[in-house]
Structure 1
Amino acid sequence: MVFLHLFVVNRSGGLIHHRHLSNKAPKIGTNEWLRIGSTFHSLHAIAAEASPVRLPGGKNSNDGIEEMVTGGMVLRSFQTRTGIKFVLTAEPQTPDLGQVLKEIYVLYTECVLKDPFYELEMPIRSELFVHAVDALVERVQNAVSISPTKHR
């Protein structure tokens, strides 16, 4: 069970961060990343508009695409109240993707938003954020690989 990619899309649909999280992840070029980010943003907006159920008061953070499952991967997204979308792809059956995305959001608030030189909606260039995400992914993947042996 491996995390494959992480990408972050701003509220305008622009890709502000992307990373390969594993050697198993397919290599994707910069133009493809930009296309994926804007396409996901558009599909997310269409899904939010087409959603038959809405909470009172308009749009909420759960509108749109939350999870997509295919034969070879699962895509999970987390939209913040400000419209930033964190998207994680992983191998099928990878547990706790939603929780990992929330932890990545916390890292974003700690490492990126508190950086006095970061401007909202602009690409994320924080080495601190990159290292924190790498440490989180390694910790979670090690916990997942250890836990099946604990239950036997």
Structure 2
Amino acid sequence: MAIFGLWVINKAGGLVYQRNFAEGLAQLTSNEYLVLAGTLHGIHAITARLSPTGSSSGAQVIEGESFKLTILLTATGTKFVLLTSLTEMTADTVLQKVYEAYADAVMKNPFHTPEMPIRSEGFDTRITALIGSGQSS
């Protein structure tokens, strides 16, 4: 079981935080990550509109052949995305803890501008403590 990466996408679809945890992932440029985040934002919006039973908050899990994306949508529209192995069962719990770290270390920082890239050593430290190398027990 492994956690490969974490993305934070603002309500406009911009990537404001990205971090890889596993070795061997494809090395993408910052522009490629921005395009992927914008695409995921669009897919999330489309899935919210496709619900046959009425209102929906959009996709929560997207599975690929060898990985899955777990998405936590906050009340403000910020999306926290965890890229994990298919067997990772703690993604929802990890995302909730990442959101708590974001609220404490980023949103309570008077020098952080909302919707802008996250440049917080406190947030990075908390993410390292929470996820570490990406290997879960």
Corresponding residue for residue 71 of structure 2:
77
Letter in 2 for 1:51: S
Q: Kindly indicate whether the alpha-carbon contact (under 8 Å) linking 1:5 and 1:25 is maintained by their aligned counterparts in 2.
A: no
How much does 1:140 deviate?
Answer: 7.8
* AA matched with 1:77: I
Structure 2: which 5+ runs fail to align?
none
Q: Which moved more, 1:41-50 or 1:17-26?
A: 17-26
Q: How many residues align?
A: 137
1:104 aligns with 2:137: no
Residues 35-81 of structure 1 show CA distances to partners (whole Å, capped at 9, x for unaligned) of 011000000001101112235xxxxxx61110011121111000000
Please give the alpha-carbon distance, in whole angstroms, between the structure 1 residues aligned to 2:17 and 2:102.
11
Aligned twin of 2:84: 90
Q: In structure 1, what is the equivalent of residue 23 of structure 2? A: 23
Moved over 4 A (4+): none
SS in 2 for 1:131: helix
Structure 1 residues 1-152: aligned runs within 5 Å:
1-54=1-54, 63-138=57-132, 141-142=135-136, 144=137
Residues 4, 24 of structure 1: 8 Å contact kept: no
What's 1:149 paired with?
A: none
Distance 1:76 1:96 in 2: 10
Identity fraction in percent? 34
Which whole-Å CA distance do the structure 2 matches of 1:2 and 1:66 have between them? 18
Q: Deviations over 1:93-141 (max 9, x none)?
A: 0111011001100000000001110011111000110111111013984
Give the direction of change, closer, same or farther, for the CA distance of 1:131–1:30 in structure 2 (3 Å limit): same
Query: TM-score, normalized by length of structure 2?
Result: 0.93
AA in 2 matched with 1:105: Y
Q: CA RMSD in A?
A: 1.6
C-alpha distance in 1 between matches for 2:28 and 2:134: 24
**Structure 1 portions without partners, runs of 5+:** 56-61, 145-152
